[in-house]
Structure 1
Amino acid sequence: MDCDAVSTFDDIVAILLPEIDEGLASHGESLPTRPHRAATFIVEHCIVEISGESKDKYLTKPWFGALLAAVIDWYRKVYGEAMKSRPAQSHTAVVAIRSTPTALDVPLTVSTPIAEDNTFWITFAASVLPGENPLDWLVRPPKLSELSEEQLKQATSSATSTSELVRRISNGLMTIGNQSARALKHASLVLPHLQAAAQNILQPNRNGFSSAIWEANFATENAIKCHLLLAGVSKVPSVHDVRQLDSLAADSHRSAELEVAVSVMPSGKDAVKHRYGELGDAPMSHAMEAYRASLVVCRHYANAIPPKMRLENARLKMKVPPMPPKSSAHG
């Protein structure tokens, strides 16, 4: 490498990202999540020392924002429209309103409008932020104006708590680090299968409810397996039994809510039977109960090991890369 040719973050990422991106892709990291994962990889594994600075809490440092902007710019140049066609800025969850499954499109990051100086703020949300109303994220809900006061209160509580669970899970998974390829593989499966569970519940027939229980169980299984690997458990059993896996990770910092949620999950054998529809039609209430329990367990295990950095509603100031000049046509 010609060190004299390296003068900007753009130069650094041009050298490092091809190999890093190939590695992330081979481990199943989705394209929309790769820029942030690649930027943290560079900080944790490629930057040895920063003169007069510390890498502690680097997510809040201005230089990390500049690095992330350069990484995002590289991905836009390399992948073009593919970056736009696969947005990962929101997550489809499900809540019950009037006992009717209703989609909840939860934003995972929150951005401000681009200012005159071409900068904007992006927040990696870990909770419902001031000024946000989760009822605004409902997709084609029953008419809210027709709900009773108690029904509206319940809908608001359900949308808020579900949104916070989803954001906590997303937030925790983003800060896992890159030390274990197997752990990252398990982590990459959690949110997609939670979303698949929600989408199965939202299907306009009963066939999806049993599949939803399997998807919720599989997401939870992967969250716990990711945690076990990061905790140093050398032999993680290849089972689908959430309660068995949870028993391997039991510690003293367990809430009553977690204990109840784990007890709700099916046995490994029943989870597989739900996958293949061998238990017949499952009631919607059972699917919703398993889905809600999976969110609670996944939230716990996505945040169970203290990471090197916490996002926790971290705000990054970003600068939009300058647009390349338009080529002029010559006749």
Structure 2
Amino acid sequence: MQQQETLISHINEFLPGIDQTLSAAGVEVSERSMKAAMFFVDHLVLDVEGDTKENYLLKSWFKPIFGHIQYWYEKRYGQTKVHPNRFLAGVLKHHGAFFLLHIPLTVAKPQGDGTCWVTSAKDVLPGEDPASWMTNGPSLEQMPPKQLAALRKEATNTATRLRGIRNHLMTADLPVVAVRAMANSVLRHLDKAAADLSAPGPEALSLSVWDLHMACEKVMKAYLNQQGIPYEQTHNLRDLVATSPKTHDWSAVKTVLGHFPSEQRVMKWRYQEGGVPSLNDLWRFYDVALEVCSIYAARMSRRFLLDNFSVQIRRPPWLESD
């Protein structure tokens, strides 16, 4: 007991400095518990009685070190920052109202032998119910069967496209840092648009169109950059389609963009000018943006495909329950 108290005292002495270093390096709070524990063992633990530091992540003595450091971070930053929920934000239209969808990035299937299959989902997998991902929505149990089936179909469509966009952007060969950053921000714009579409107030609705436009613009420009095709510095989506290589048929993109507003109109809505788009128009704009992003992301070149890639992992001893 005294040894454990001494260990905790030493950890507490060094943790503020370690955390300051990690913060200065730009490490996210959710990643700091493990990095801080590894730093402590690598640099501050000189010897382990009756054992070695080799492969210490698999050693049971690492458990109290990691456990206390994680507890320290939870007290310092709160549970949400240390254990954030990772999801894609989508939107669903039901009875003329928009509802937010929280779409999981991975699907975990625990096994009886202490392992777990974790799948990075590209599609909606068997056993998943996308309708249940709707936040603050109506009761699914009390919904008429036909209505529930239609809702599930729409939620599945949205979730499949968003997961596909993420998968294709994640696996695309984008070695230029600036282009990779541009591609990575596409989903952030779609997340923000979904949040604004499902938020109360006309201001949020108007702002959502700007993020939908930016998602389309950035995925197009990231694709053109990857293909080595120069383009004008423009917000005009139709000009960017015209610049796209003739090795692909872009007629589907041109067709759906016929139902998307011009950049001038989008800019007016961004500054709360020109009224507010109707809910039906907004739903159409959202559908267009998902389609454009899906097509361009899928056509990026890549060396590896990770379609519903699964790995089997074993729970490390320092996370096992007492």
Is it true that 1:96 corresponds to 2:93 in the alignment? yes
How far apart are 1:31 and its partner, in Å? 8.1
Alignment partner, residue 43 of structure 1: none
Q: Whole-Å Cα distance in 2 between the matches of residues 314 and 251 of structure 1? A: 32
Q: Whole-Å Cα distance in 2 between the matches of residues 296 and 324 of structure 1? A: 41
CA contact (8 A) 1:241 1:266 kept: no
Alignment partner, residue 130 of structure 2: 134
Q: Whole-Å Cα distance in 1 between the matches of residues 244 and 318 of structure 2? A: 50
Alignment partner, residue 43 of structure 2: none
Alignment partner, residue 120 of structure 2: 124
Is it true that 1:268 corresponds to 2:239 in the alignment? no
CA contact (8 A) 1:209 1:283 kept: no
Alignment partner, residue 190 of structure 2: 194
Match of 1:315 among 310, 313, 317: 310
Match of 1:237 among 218, 232, 236: 232
Q: Whole-Å Cα distance in 1 between the matches of residues 241 and 30 of structure 2? A: 30
TM (norm. structure 2) is 0.70
The count of residues paired between Structure 1 and Structure 2 equals: 261
CA 1:160–1:201 in 2, change beyond 3 Å: closer, same or farther? Answer: same
Q: Whole-Å Cα distance in 1 between the matches of residues 83 and 257 of structure 2? A: 33
DSSP-derived class of the 1:87 partner: coil
Match of 2:288 among 287, 293, 304: 293
CA contact (8 A) 2:88 2:105 kept: yes
How far apart are 1:87 and its partner, in Å? 3.3
Q: Whole-Å Cα distance in 2 between the matches of residues 274 and 198 of structure 1? A: 16
Is it true that 1:110 corresponds to 2:81 in the alignment? no
Taking only the aligned residue pairs, the percentage that are identical comes to: 27
Q: Which residues of structure 2 form unaligned runs of 5+?
A: 1-21, 32-57, 59-66
CA contact (8 A) 1:239 1:268 kept: no
Is it true that 1:211 corresponds to 2:207 in the alignment? yes
DSSP-derived class of the 2:103 partner: strand
Match of 2:168 among 164, 167, 172: 172
Q: Whole-Å Cα distance in 1 between the matches of residues 309 and 150 of structure 2? A: 29
How far apart are 1:140 and its partner, in Å? 2.1
Q: Whole-Å Cα distance in 1 between the matches of residues 258 and 316 of structure 2? A: 50
Structure with greater Cα Rg: 2
CA 1:246–1:175 in 2, change beyond 3 Å: closer, same or farther? Answer: same
CA 1:262–1:86 in 2, change beyond 3 Å: closer, same or farther? Answer: farther
DSSP-derived class of the 1:323 partner: helix
Q: Whole-Å Cα distance in 2 between the matches of residues 236 and 279 of structure 1? A: 30
CA contact (8 A) 2:165 2:298 kept: yes
How far apart are 1:210 and its partner, in Å? 1.3
The aligned amino acid for 2:235 is H
TM (norm. structure 1) is 0.68
Q: Which residues of structure 1 form unaligned runs of 5+?
A: 1-20, 34-68, 70-75, 326-331
1:254-299 deviation digits (Å, cap 9, x = unpaired): 4765343222222222222221112222212222211111111111
